[in-house]
Amino acid sequence: MIFLARLDGWMRGLEGWPRLALAFGLGAFCATAFAPIGFFPALLLGLAGLALLLDGAALSPRPWRAAAATGWAFAFGQFLIGMHWIVYPFMVDPAEHLWQLPFALASLPAGLGLFGALGVLPALLARRPGVSRLLLLSVGYAAAEWLRGHVLTGFPWNLPAYGWGASLAVMQAASLIGAYGLSFLTILLGVSLAEVARRRVLLPGVMALVFAGLAGWGALQLAQPSAMVPGVTLRLVQPNVPQREKRSAFRARNWQRLLSLSDSPGHPTHIIWPEAAADFALARDAVALQDVARLTARGAVLMTGAIRVDGTAQAFRWYNSLYLFEPGGAVLAVYDKTHLVPFGEYVPYPALLNPLGIAQLIGLPPATPGDGLHRYAVPGAPNITPLICYEDSFPGAAITAEGRPGWFVNVTDDSWFGPWAGPAQHLLTARMRTIEEGVPMARAANTGISAVIDGRGRIIAERGLNRMGVVDAPLPAALNPTFYGRFGDLVFLAFLIVGAGLALLAARQH
């Protein structure tokens, strides 16, 4: 305890660059809580350290400026390390794009760090260290994370809730309170540990009991087996084509690989290919459509990501789409991706950024967004809602106005995310969506990780990274609608209101 008291005094006494350097280091340490490492204590300890640093910032001559800088440095460290995989798209064609790498590596974490700067400011409304300040910090930081998931189309990657990836039991809480609600409780648990350095254990003790209860409840949910949809056998095709080989010189080989893998021994009823598996205008290629007809002639349904083109060569629009082919090869439906990837499929603020050459990263005119998520009928299986690439990253946004589907179909090409951390983080995000909604997911990824996931986030079958092959598995049945599925982020909003109210009460008691 003497050591902790000295640590508290030392951290509060830091000023200027030493404080910012430690905040950066704590944020970088937090990044190890996320997939694929999954060391969740790092997130909690990093948040506790941030709370102690903010107590010191509050004593500065310019407390608001010092606190904002501390919060920014913390978030910058977390995103710089946790999202280091953003370097890989620039290495696909290094001769053309490598010069842009330093700008992208610094600018995205720096921009996301602004939400960290904003999130810590409410803590300074409390005049002294203690429960009131910690509650306000939790409210402010969690609200900033919600904003990060919504402002400028949103980017809710590596939310604090995902720090529990190593504990599927705790993750079950998302079916009650969603990723944002679990993020709020996680932040509060982490910052409450700062109280231990002051020999006060009430708040951390209460939060420990809360998470023990959530873990126990989650374990009970996981004790229930997965029911399967009768008569459905899925085949997820993972062609494992590197980005450098997704070009016209390899197109015929890549297409034959998809067909060959789909024809592997077995009797799938539904075959799913990844995002842009057909990286050409599939609907305009008569030979490819004949191949699809032959593949589905024995009664299988095919779902595949493909490029869709409208117009002529002189004036055309392109879409990142998913085609649904019925047995025999007729097109049943086409879904156009709605939530496009900034800097991958379009450039925000083109007048400002295009002169920097950033538009060249896309290599095509900007993609055209679709008109929103939809639910589609599928022969021989429950209705689906397609989610292309990172459309599965947005809490509360996977269910359409048309109703809840029987399963999600996520097609993606995570080779853009590198060979390690990015794909693992994306898979964890997909699992969180299934828990929130109680809806299973079939996920076909070009280079992996392809998986069938049940409504509690359990992986029924998968194929690992950078491995060519197929995943054959039954389709888990959807669970009953979850509490979060019914009420969405209203619970999260209630957390913010109650947290702010308790902070006010705690402040009046001192």
In this predicted structure, what is the pLDDT of residue 492?
98
| Residues near 131 by beta carbon (within 8 Å), at least 6 away in sequence | 195, 202, 203, 502, 503, 506
Q: How confident is the model at residue 382 (pLDDT cuts 50, 70, 90)?
A: very high
pLDDT at 361 over 60: no
In this predicted structure, what is the pLDDT of residue 351?
66
Strand order across the beta sheet in which 376-378 lies: 376-378, 381-388, 407-412, 441-445, 450-453, 459-463
pLDDT at 155 over 60: yes
Average pLDDT of the segment spanning 75-82 = 97
In this predicted structure, what is the pLDDT of residue 102?
78
Average pLDDT of the segment spanning 4-13 = 79
Instruction: Give the burial class of 293: count Cβ atoms within 10 A of its Cβ; 0-12 exposed, 13-18 middle, 19 or more buried.
Output: middle
Q: Which residues are catalytic?
A: 275, 337, 389
CATH number among 3.30.70.270, 3.60.110.10, 3.20.20.30, 2.60.120.650, domain 229-476: 3.60.110.10
Q: How confident is the model at residue 7 (pLDDT cuts 50, 70, 90)?
A: confident
Residues 132-152: pLDDT tens digits?
999 999 999 999 999 999 998
pLDDT at 314 over 70: no
Q: How confident is the model at residue 156 (pLDDT cuts 50, 70, 90)?
A: very high
Q: How confident is the model at residue 510 (pLDDT cuts 50, 70, 90)?
A: low
> Which amino acid is it at 427?
L
Q: How confident is the model at residue 71 (pLDDT cuts 50, 70, 90)?
A: very high
In this predicted structure, what is the pLDDT of residue 357?
55
Task: Map tokens 């809580």 to a residue.
Answer: 33
Residue 69 in contact with residue 50, Cβ under 8 Å?
A: no
Residue 434 in contact with residue 482, Cβ under 8 Å?
A: no
pLDDT at 353 over 70: no
Q: Out of 68-72, 362-366, 462-466, which region has the weakest mean confidence (pLDDT)? A: 362-366
In this predicted structure, what is the pLDDT of residue 344?
74
pLDDT: is 316 or 492 the higher one? 492
Q: How many CB atoms lie within 10 A of CB 355?
A: 9
In this predicted structure, what is the pLDDT of residue 427?
98
Give the separation between CA 199 and CA 195, rounded to whole angstroms: 6
Residues 177-232: pLDDT tens digits?
999 999 999 999 999 999 998 889 999 999 999 999 999 999 999 999 999 999 99
Q: How confident is the model at residue 363 (pLDDT cuts 50, 70, 90)?
A: low
In this predicted structure, what is the pLDDT of residue 135?
98
Q: Out of 73-82, 314-323, 387-396, which region has the weakest mean confidence (pLDDT)? A: 314-323
pLDDT at 352 over 70: no
Give the separation between CA 500 and CA 506, rounded to whole angstroms: 10
pLDDT: is 442 or 416 the higher one? 442
In this predicted structure, what is the pLDDT of residue 8?
74
| Residues near 253 by beta carbon (within 8 Å), at least 6 away in sequence | none
| Residues near 260 by beta carbon (within 8 Å), at least 6 away in sequence | none
Percentage of the chain lying above the pLDDT 90 cut: 80
In this predicted structure, what is the pLDDT of residue 506?
85
pLDDT at 316 over 90: no
Average pLDDT of the segment spanning 127-135 = 94
pLDDT at 258 over 80: yes
In this predicted structure, what is the pLDDT of residue 101?
75
Domain extent listing, the chain = 2-223+498-508, 229-476
Helices (H), 346-450: 350-353, 421-437
Residues 400-440: pLDDT tens digits?
989 999 999 999 999 988 889 999 999 999 999 999 999 99
Average pLDDT of the segment spanning 337-353 = 77
pLDDT at 360 over 80: no
Cα dihedral: 426, 148, 71, 129 (round 10): -110
Q: At 251, phi and psi to the nearest 5? A: -60, -45
pLDDT at 250 over 80: yes
Average pLDDT of the segment spanning 78-89 = 91
Residue 321 in contact with residue 310, Cβ under 8 Å?
A: no
pLDDT at 354 over 70: no
Rounded mean pLDDT of the chain?
Answer: 93
In this predicted structure, what is the pLDDT of residue 509?
76
In this predicted structure, what is the pLDDT of residue 1?
59
